[in-house]
Amino acid sequence: FDPAESGSRACLLPPDEGPCRALVPRWYYDRYTQSCQEFTYGGCHGNANNFLTLDDCEKSCWTIKKVPKLCRMEADGGPCRSHLRRYAFNLSSMMCEEFIYGGCYGNGNNFRDLQACADHCLPEKSNGSGPSLCYSPKDEGLCSSSVPRYYYDTKTKSCKQFRYTGCGGNANNFVTETDCYNVSCTCLWKTKEKRPKSSSKICTGSKYFSI
């Protein structure tokens, strides 16, 4: 597997047995059950979510933030044919992402706006000072694409553009600058910091996105 994938980010990767045919007992972190599980490794390739022992797995992945059960569900557009913009939490990217909801059925991982998704699904700092994304550094991710995204910079208290590689990364990752400022306003309110001038217009408007 690729050593570059090592670290807590590797714990979010799906289990990969690899192409070989050995039967090697290994452990991986299951992001859905939020626990370490045993699997059979083929002996070659695979990925970094692959640990020799249960103890190794738990020591490597204990920093992964716990996510509410509802937010671990896959986004489900449902069988109906409306075209509603909604947000769901993606366990692979640890971000709230937009999807199209048909208007009926589906599941509970379905939020009318980005803010509601972030409030419910993103782990908060233990001191209650706001969503963890407010304090997450820019993270370009693990892959090789070059996608323009925005992140909230806590030092300048403003949203800045960066290049996202397409996978991995963290929750401080927004498709548009407006999305970034809408959530960063909550960061500012909860930390009682002065709002940046560039976001004052957005912060004083509606807290939610229109659907």
Domain ranges within the chain, ordered by starting residue: 3-61, 69-203
Lowest mean pLDDT among 39-53, 128-142, 192-206: 192-206
Report CA 126 to chain centroid distance, whole Å. 18
Q: 């204990």: which residue's tokens?
A: 62
Tell me if 112 sits within 8 A of 86, measured CB to CB.
yes
- Note whether 3-61 and 69-203 share their fold: yes
The pLDDT score that the predictor gives to residue 76 is: 96
Topology of domain 69-203 in CATH is Factor Xa Inhibitor (4.10.410)
CATH fourth-level superfamily of 3-61: Pancreatic trypsin inhibitor Kunitz domain (4.10.410.10)
Q: From CA 176, how far away is CA 54, in angstroms rounded?
A: 40
The pLDDT score that the predictor gives to residue 23 is: 94
pLDDT class of 135 with cuts at 50, 70, 90: low
Lowest mean pLDDT among 2-6, 14-18, 26-30, 158-162: 2-6
Residue type, 24: V
Q: From CA 103, how far away is CA 28, in angstroms rounded?
A: 36
Q: From CA 147, how far away is CA 165, in angstroms rounded?
A: 6
CA angle (102, 78, 121) in 5-degree steps: 95
* pLDDT of 71 over the 50 cut: yes
Mean pLDDT (whole number) for 139-145: 84
